[in-house]
Structure 1
Amino acid sequence: MLKLLFIKMAANQDLETTTQVADASTLDDLRLSPGTVFLSHAKDAPIILQPRPSEDPNDPLNWSKIRKTINFSLVLFYTLLGFAVITVQTPLWAPINEDLGFSSVALTNGYATNVAALAVGCVFFVPLALKYGRRPVYLTTTLLMLLSCIWQAKMTTLADLYLSVFLSGLASAVNEALVQITIADLYFVHQRGTMNGIYILCVAIGNYLAPVASGYVANSQGWTWSFWWPCIFFGVANVLMLFFYEETKYIGPITGICQANGPNPSVHTEPNLYEKAANDKETSVGDPIPTISHLEDPSVYINRNIPLKSYRERLPWFVNSPGSFASFIRHIYQPFQVMGLFPIVAFACLQYGTAIAWLAILATTEASLFALPPYNFNTIAIGNLNIAPFIGFLFGSVFGGPINDWSIVRLARRNRGIYEPEMRLRLYIIPVLAMAAGLLMYGLTLAKGVHWILPATGSGIMAFGISAIMDLNLSYLIDAHIEILGDALVAVTFVRNAIAMVIVFVLPPWMNGMGTYNMFVIMGVLSLTFGLTFIPMMLYGKRVRIACSSRYARYAQKQFSPRGV
């Protein structure tokens, strides 16, 4: 056994001293495993904040709750509108066909074009956000989505359709990567699951309640007003983002604080920590480890001598991160390297991509098949079908968010206070089974033309599984690879939309050639097969992180402003 490590825990604004015995394997875990952190050692002990906030009061991690809430609420409003602009069109296919003569195949191809733009947009906009800050990208894309809605409201030709949805896809792509970066800017490890759950809930509102409203608006005011109303909301969003959204990209001396009377160096005082530890196996585990701030006093010291930024300084047009133009260009192709070199990123791409593919199938088949006999649904009825998956998404966001956050804290306390990102996968089997079962129930009952309540119930069960899987995957990826998060999220977003695009493009010939029933049987089997790949990741994910630690350190240093877990 090694010497005792004394960990000062902050509780009720007083410091209580407890003793934690750490063996050699514990210290090696903290050295070698990106994402492994000390979270909480006992049932009633306070949670140690990870990542360690700096002493700067301008650091977003140190912002007040109300300030974080205002900022994140604006991002959530942006998210809701971004997904709404993608989905409001599907209930309108029948009146658009009647007024403009666009066939169902052309409209399906338009949806696929939108998804393709979602894949491309993140490759362009996320590097800009990493280099120049989140705020200019949010402002620019909000304006672009406003313009795309105006274009769709006034479209008359197929060229208008394809170009307008391509523009909306480019701008909406930010929803699928930059929001998670913003969550990592503002919140700690034990809060990210809940914040991702709230994000997923807003995704559900945009995905499923917006089409409901779109159907009613089209029935009462005409289908063009299903685009004019989003224009109004995007105008409001532009004003709110312009005057109230603060930049969350933090550039400054990031220091991990471990004593209430002053700062100590953080993990980033030595940015090649994992690489050094991986290459230096002879290091004595009994020696002091000054760069591992995870085992230090969790009290947060704020240096009041650092002035707070003014209102104008909090709303910059851009912030220029250190780095050359070549380093900016690197972030356009580096995501694809990250996807190939880090199995956890590849796992997230597969899981997220297939889950979104089933969502795309749900959206397109609802719009096309329920308008045909024996259902003959009008725009309102097709829109109302989205209520069931919205309810499923609601429960899934709770399961993958606060319930999962509660679970990882308990698991960390049972593991001597050490948190492993793979702990987020312990509950994964439940949404995997729900997604496959719901997909089969929806597709097979729809193919047989049974009462609409059965496919609607199936869509709700499927949405529960998809929502929880999305939340668990995002939280797992953030926790395991936060220092390369921008590149990782671009890879995930590109792959998930590429898969969805291919699925939507091949859907009409696939369904016509094989039949709806057989097609959904294959989809259900594929859903279960892909979902169960979480088992090897849950069992061996930590070994994978350790094996990739040296490579991870090198790619972390290629980022504009990496921040440790």
Structure 2
Amino acid sequence: MPPHYSEQSPLLRDEYHRADQTTIVRFDKEGDEGNPREWSSRRKTSQVVQIFFLALVCPMAASIFAPAIDQIAQDFHSSKQIVLLGQSAFMFGLGTGPLFLAPMSETFGRRPLFVLCLAVFTLLQIPIALSPNVATFISMRALSGLVGSVGVANGGGSVFDMFETHQRAMVLGVYLVAPLFGPTLGPLFGGLIVGSLDWRWIFWFTMVISGIITTITFLLLHETNATIILSNRKKELQKQHPDTHYEVEGVGDMSIPRKIAQNSTRAVRILVTQPIVSIMSLYQALIFASLFSIYAQYQSIWSSPPWNFDKAQVGLAYLGPAVGFLIVSAVCVAFIDKVYTSLCRRNGEDENDGQPEYRLPLANIGAVFLPVSLFWFGWTVEKGCDWPVPILATAFFGASQVSVFNPVQTYYIDAYGSSAASALAAGAFLRSVIGGVVPLFVGTLYESLGYGVGTSIFGVISIVLMPAPLLFQRYGRLLREKFPFHP
């Protein structure tokens, strides 16, 4: 099982001999280049940039075909609702994949999972682009989402591997832009492509981009999981000194199948036994459900009177949430560490020993922006207001996404330490599955109730969940102590 080390004590220590003459393999206390937390800033930056782009491209594929839904339905002689299953299938894969990819990365390492899944994801774009019917399209999309979830599953764990607590929030703030910004950026590219080309070019474009990233990661991405690095070091030492017994602390000679069995339940156990993860993941699921429901209707909304946008203009309409997203991302990156440090000092705590709850204050911004933006967008579309008015509402919606997701994801990583990848996977499962299923029914909802009332339903639910970040900021520590998690 993975080593249980405290962030208050160094991960890097010299090898030493126990009384039974077993040599324990550890990192040196200082200057061990094998330790990811001792890597140079340049090397760490290289790894984060690669993880950022792979976590951007795969979620981007979830919604990239949204502007082409009508065109695909016409080509396959199918209904729009059936074609939407292609989005839901991808989201289901994106949600379920991390449940086993995250533990697999803790068993086999981050790098092998990243490279293998990216390669398969790239190849799967070929049968999607060449799909002869809607059944092939949906099934290949499901598989694509499954392997494409690797960035969501393992990116946060990789950041945890390389950075100490007081360094981590800013890096996570940059990394977390990717899996959240991807679904907004995708339809922008998709709209521009289908404005002049056949819808199948969307997936050729995805294949080229993901192929480039796969090649780069194969050549330049390094292993960051401390357990795997030390286990490989142990094997080398064992070859050099066969008469000496080496052991990595906290890692027994457990068989691979047993390790997989032990690790594979971790994400599910976190989701089921940790109230904070369960409720905040439900909150994130609401945001994803709202996001993909609105995006699924974008073509219908903006191509209708009084706006009558063409396909390229519909694609550009996605710049609304993108602008809000990027502005507040910059705010979160700039201030989340400052807020954390300020709360640590106020409570007389060291920066490396602060409470994970100190990451949550900025989430309260998104808790306010979310219902405001949903009511604003729904009713201005319903009343046919000039296009800048509802577009501005989507900017606030984009802002709400990142100001909830960024602090909450950082909180998961601080709270669950070496099980961070599994904690993130638990959250990804709930939000992706709900975010994939709800849009299937929203079209009928909007037809029956209109955009004002239909979107207001999401707004009312967001008001009910609005106090969650504030309550967990105050009482989260008590809940963690009452419901401790044992990996």
Question: Which of 328-337 and 533-542 deviates more?
Answer: 328-337
Matched, 1:417 2:349: yes
CA distance in 2, matches of 1:427, 1:83: 24
Q: Is the 8 A contact 2:297 2:443 kept in 1?
A: no
What code does the residue aligned with 1:447 have?
E
CA distance in 2, matches of 1:236, 1:390: 24
Matched, 1:443 2:411: no
Matched, 1:342 2:257: no
CA 1:531–1:144 in structure 2 vs 1: closer, same or farther (change >3 Å)? Answer: farther
CA 1:97–1:423 in structure 2 vs 1: closer, same or farther (change >3 Å)? Answer: same
> In structure 2, what is the equivalent of residue 29 of structure 1?
none
What code does the residue aligned with 1:487 have?
S
Matched, 1:487 2:422: yes
Q: Deviations over 1:206-225 (max 9, x none)?
A: 22333222222222333222
Q: Is the 8 A contact 1:134 1:178 kept in 2?
A: yes
Question: Of 115, 119, 133, which residue of structure 1 is paired with 2:95?
Answer: 119
CA 1:214–1:528 in structure 2 vs 1: closer, same or farther (change >3 Å)? Answer: same
**What SS is found at the alignment partner of 1:68?**
helix
Question: Of 305, 314, 321, which residue of structure 2 is paired with 1:382?
Answer: 314
CA 1:253–1:244 in structure 2 vs 1: closer, same or farther (change >3 Å)? Answer: closer
> In structure 2, what is the equivalent of residue 281 of structure 1?
none
Q: Is the 8 A contact 2:364 2:404 kept in 1?
A: no
Matched, 1:130 2:61: no
CA 1:323–1:392 in structure 2 vs 1: closer, same or farther (change >3 Å)? Answer: farther
What code does the residue aligned with 2:10 have?
R
Q: Is the 8 A contact 1:176 1:493 kept in 2?
A: yes
CA 1:516–1:221 in structure 2 vs 1: closer, same or farther (change >3 Å)? Answer: closer
What code does the residue aligned with 1:388 have?
G
> In structure 1, what is the equivalent of residue 186 of structure 2?
210
> In structure 2, what is the equivalent of residue 187 of structure 1?
163
TM-score, length-scaled by structure 1: 0.74
CA distance in 2, matches of 1:167, 1:88: 16
Residue 377 of structure 1 deviates from its aligned partner by: 2.4
Question: Which of 50-59 and 469-478 deviates more?
Answer: 50-59
Matched, 1:539 2:470: no
Q: Deviations over 1:20-67 (max 9, x none)?
A: xxxxxxxxxxxxxx99x9xxxxxxxxxxx8673412321111110000
Alignment of 1:208-247 (within 5 A): 208-247=184-223
CA distance in 2, matches of 1:333, 1:203: 24
CA 1:428–1:422 in structure 2 vs 1: closer, same or farther (change >3 Å)? Answer: same
CA distance in 1, matches of 2:190, 2:454: 29
CA distance in 2, matches of 1:426, 1:322: 43
What code does the residue aligned with 1:394 have?
L
Residue 456 of structure 1 deviates from its aligned partner by: 1.1
Structure 2, unmatched stretches of 5+, are: 13-28, 231-236, 238-250
Question: Which of 191-200 and 93-102 deviates more?
Answer: 93-102
Matched, 1:172 2:103: no
> In structure 2, what is the equivalent of residue 52 of structure 1?
10
- Aligned-residue sequence identity (percent) comes to 24
CA distance in 2, matches of 1:251, 1:362: 43
> In structure 2, what is the equivalent of residue 259 of structure 1?
none
**What SS is found at the alignment partner of 2:373?**
helix
CA distance in 2, matches of 1:201, 1:512: 33
> In structure 1, what is the equivalent of residue 265 of structure 2?
333
Residue 142 of structure 1 deviates from its aligned partner by: 0.9
CA distance in 2, matches of 1:515, 1:345: 33
Matched, 1:149 2:122: no
CA distance in 1, matches of 2:54, 2:98: 16
Matched, 1:497 2:432: yes
Residue 322 of structure 1 deviates from its aligned partner by: 5.4
Residue 333 of structure 1 deviates from its aligned partner by: 3.0
CA distance in 1, matches of 2:66, 2:186: 10
CA 1:181–1:136 in structure 2 vs 1: closer, same or farther (change >3 Å)? Answer: same
CA 1:489–1:209 in structure 2 vs 1: closer, same or farther (change >3 Å)? Answer: closer
CA distance in 2, matches of 1:500, 1:222: 27
CA 1:401–1:348 in structure 2 vs 1: closer, same or farther (change >3 Å)? Answer: farther
Residue 74 of structure 1 deviates from its aligned partner by: 0.9
Q: Deviations over 1:344-381 (max 9, x none)?
A: 22233223222222221222121333233333322211
**What SS is found at the alignment partner of 1:220?**
coil
CA distance in 1, matches of 2:72, 2:272: 42
What code does the residue aligned with 2:169 have?
G
Q: Is the 8 A contact 1:370 1:376 kept in 2?
A: yes
TM-score, length-scaled by structure 2: 0.85
> In structure 1, what is the equivalent of residue 254 of structure 2?
323
Q: Is the 8 A contact 2:375 2:459 kept in 1?
A: yes
What code does the residue aligned with 1:120 have?
T
**What SS is found at the alignment partner of 1:439?**
helix
CA 1:515–1:245 in structure 2 vs 1: closer, same or farther (change >3 Å)? Answer: same
CA distance in 2, matches of 1:331, 1:527: 34
What code does the residue aligned with 1:159 have?
A
CA distance in 2, matches of 1:125, 1:430: 32
CA 1:205–1:473 in structure 2 vs 1: closer, same or farther (change >3 Å)? Answer: closer
Q: Is the 8 A contact 1:200 1:393 kept in 2?
A: no
Q: Deviations over 1:435-477 (max 9, x none)?
A: 1111111122122222221221111101101111100100111
CA distance in 2, matches of 1:107, 1:449: 27
> In structure 2, what is the equivalent of residue 427 of structure 1?
362
CA 1:352–1:177 in structure 2 vs 1: closer, same or farther (change >3 Å)? Answer: farther
CA distance in 1, matches of 2:193, 2:101: 32
Residue 496 of structure 1 deviates from its aligned partner by: 1.0
**What SS is found at the alignment partner of 2:226?**
coil
CA distance in 1, matches of 2:184, 2:270: 33
> In structure 1, what is the equivalent of residue 393 of structure 2?
458
Residues matched between the structures, number? 443
What code does the residue aligned with 1:336 have?
V
> In structure 2, what is the equivalent of residue 109 of structure 1?
85
Q: Is the 8 A contact 2:124 2:144 kept in 1?
A: yes
Residue 196 of structure 1 deviates from its aligned partner by: 2.2
CA 1:208–1:341 in structure 2 vs 1: closer, same or farther (change >3 Å)? Answer: closer
CA distance in 2, matches of 1:367, 1:218: 12
Residue 400 of structure 1 deviates from its aligned partner by: 2.6
Q: Point out the structure with max Rg over C-alpha.
A: 1
Matched, 1:407 2:339: yes
Q: Deviations over 1:63-110 (max 9, x none)?
A: 100000111111111112112222221111233234333322122222
What code does the residue aligned with 1:176 have?
V
> In structure 2, what is the equivalent of residue 295 of structure 1?
none
Q: Structure 1 or 2: larger helix share?
A: 2
